[in-house]
Amino acid sequence: MKIIQVKDYQAMSEKACEIIVERMQELEKPVLGLATGSTPEGMYECLIKKNKEGNVSFKNTSTFNLDEYVGIAEEDPNSYHYFMHDKFLDHVDIEEENSHLPSGLEKDMDKECKEYEQMIRDAGGIDLQVLGIGVNGHIGFNEPGTPFTKETHVVELTDSTRKANSRYFASIDEVPTHAISMGPETIMQSKEILLLISGENKADAVAKLIEGDVSEQVPVSILKNHENVTLIVDEAALSKTKIK
């Protein structure tokens, strides 16, 4: 795992943006794996700016998001569909049919999971997957204990994740109990992974990742088994880690 240490959130966002733009310039038809949450927002702002300035185009790019809540309408401001359109997709020159998020609204969710995997395969796999982590070390919505062999699946959210995400909802009771998420196995099939981590509330998770073993109890630790991972981490998130 390559580790890039940066000062703060702004520097993390700009570095991630720079790496994505670089990769997009190398690839004819880039396939990006995208994430929601506070972590990638600054990166999206930077990518929008680069697109508007004419430094990068998303015309030939396809995107696949990691996850979505189960049972929330796409128009609901708390859905990940809404987030992605609001923060990124509606502001760049990507073709609507090329941006994909799993649906949390299907009657047959198992079928949706299989179809989402197939869509990723049909696109040729993910070239570059952007990831954040949860305070409990989750990636996507793969909570501690998720078998590393899982592909896209429906997950029950832990109390810790529901509490962390309740900041977007009127109360914790409104936070969905389930989500659909790419599995650890789906994520590991990406050709390259960019892991973004900022803030003191992630410091314990970062210490477990860097100093600890690979364990299903720390979902992000699976990335140590991937050969092309870059971690961009700021000072606050590194505050509990002995790096050298």
Instruction: Enumerate the active-site residues.
Output: 67, 136, 138, 143
Q: Which of 30, 33, 104, 134 binds ligand PGA (CB under 6 A)?
A: 134
Cα angle vertex 217, ends 215, 221, to 5°? 45
Nearer to ligand PGA, 100 or 138 (CB): 138
Minimum distance, C-beta of residue 136 to ligand PGA, in the bound complex (Å): 9
Strand-pairing partners, residue 62, are: 31
Is residue 135 packed enough to be buried (19+ CB in 10 Å), middle (13-18) or exposed (0-12)?
middle
Query: Which listed range, 3-11, 23-31, 53-61, 128-136, lies at the site for ligand PGA (CB under 6 A)?
Result: 128-136
Query: Hunting for tokens 């509490």 — which residue is that?
Result: 163
- Strand residue runs (E) in the chain: 2-6, 31-34, 62-65, 67-69, 99-100, 128-131, 153-156, 178-181, 192-197, 229-234
Nearer to ligand PGA, 93 or 194 (CB): 194
If binding means CB under 6 A, how many residues of this protein chain bind ligand PGA? Answer: 7
**How far apart (Å, rounded) are the C-alpha atoms in residues 207 and 140?**
19
Minimum distance, C-beta of residue 143 to ligand PGA, in the bound complex (Å): 10
Q: Is 137 in the site for ligand PGA (CB under 6 A)?
A: no
Q: Which of 30, 37, 104, 183 binds ligand PGA (CB under 6 A)?
A: 37
Residues that bind ligand PGA in the complex, under the rule CB under 6 A = 37-39, 132-134, 138
